[in-house]
Amino acid sequence: MDERFNRWLLPPLLALLFLLIVYQYVSPACPGAACPRRPPASAARRGGGPAEREEEEAAAAGAAEEEEAEAAAAAALPRLVAKFPFARGELCRRVRFDMRGRDVIVFLHIQKTGGTTFGRHLVRNIRLEQPCYCRAGQKKCACHRPGGDKDTWLFSRFSTGWSCGLHADWTELTSCVPAAMERRGCAGNRTLRNFYYITMLRDPVSRYLSEWKHVQRGATWKTSLHMCDGRSPTPDELPTCYEGDDWSGVSLQEFMDCSYNLANNRQVRMLADLSLVGCYNLTFMNESERNMILLQSAKNNLKNMAFFGLTEFQRKTQYLFERTFNLKFISPFTQFNVTRASNVDIGEDVRQRIEELNFLDVQLYEYAKDLFLQRFQYSKQEEHQKNRLKRREERRLLREQRAHQWPREEAAEVAVTEDYNSQVARW
């Protein structure tokens, strides 16, 4: 009897045990370690499963690598010891150049500063919606605004020619350019135009030697107008250093011995407002006062220009121009370290003599170089900071995206489990 009773009792017990085991796995409560579901989003962010931890570790490693790259890029910038204090607005140069409007770039071309090369970059090497039209065999190019407007956005030797005179200086350009644009028949009122002046500077000794070699080969600028206060200088105010058509074959000593040689301190004179010192009338004030005013005027005008570059820093010049005007060059600038000036072998006494003759240019170039390098460093640091913030924002958005994705996956898994449970209950 006991044997028969045990035989009938055993199958129900086994069936009950089986149901309990099945219920353990499919129950919505899903207790204990038997639950195969993904942990909640908060737990996943704290560690979660192995896949989530790997993703978090990879993201953290990527962020660390980016921070190291940024630190390396910042360290790669040469340490600059500023000589002159400049305000943030003087270092951050950004021009909202409206090529379709009435904005005009005016290039002040100082002799032997690499201005010819830079001028060609402006008409042939900028990526434009409507490129300058340059005919073969002609120096000048037509740089019209986009949209069929025949007005020009560039006032330079290679676009408008020497409209204000051969190698016109700051004094000439500022008084001549607006009227010259009107004479060209450019539409629009001059008061609506914005003129952005730019120029190139060069180490004074190298520039002086380059001009000497250029004059020695027979070049002259005797057709320059030198207009100031509405007139050109008289022969007494601006004598010539030679007789005849040119000064070809001149020796360096003869070139330096001419006290009224316009090569002396050319960069300061061409950037200063000459009307402040009586133009070319040397009797207007004493020499020391004249020099002080010329130098300060040249510094102020250079600092307030939209842009200036240095011949010795071609790539940095390209970078700052692109950042200033939001324009891109097609091909990178080339740094030529071997020039006619560099091939001239001079002694220390000759170099010192040239620096004495160009003592104003030496001071201006020191000022310009410091401002130029500070602007470059400021722009690079600003660029690094902008890129760092951009990547940080991208990482934040990615984390938020993952945080929203995991709860949706959890909800989908719960829905599948409950649907399965309802099917089991029906069965």
Largest Cα–Cα separation, the chain? 147
Interval 186-198 mean pLDDT: 74
What tens digit of pLDDT does each residue of 82-141 get? 999 999 999 999 999 999 999 999 999 999 999 999 999 999 999 999 999 999 989 999
Q: Could you confirm whether 404 is annotated as catalytic? A: no
Choosing from 109, 121, 144, 167, which is the catalytic residue?
Answer: 167
Q: What is the percent of the chain with per-residue pLDDT over 90, rounded to a whole number?
A: 64
The structure tokens 């340059």 sit at 134
Q: Are strands 133-134 and 141-142 parallel, antiparallel or unpaired?
A: antiparallel
pLDDT of residue 177 exceeding 90, the answer is yes
User: At residue 145, what is the residue type?
Assistant: R
Q: What is the pLDDT of residue 296?
A: 98
Extract the tokens encoding 64: 């660390």
pLDDT of residue 40 exceeding 50, the answer is no
Q: What is the dihedral of CA 37, 40, 45, 46, to 10 degrees?
A: -90
Q: What is the pLDDT of residue 13?
A: 77
Based on its alpha-carbon atoms, the radius of gyration of the chain, rounded to whole angstroms, reads: 37
pTM of the predicted model, to two decimals?
0.78
Kindly tell me the sign of the dihedral angle through the C-alpha atoms of 274, 277, 282, 284. Answer: positive
Interval 34-61 mean pLDDT: 52
Query: Distance (Å, rounded) from C-alpha 77 to C-alpha 99?
Result: 33
Interval 379-402 mean pLDDT: 87
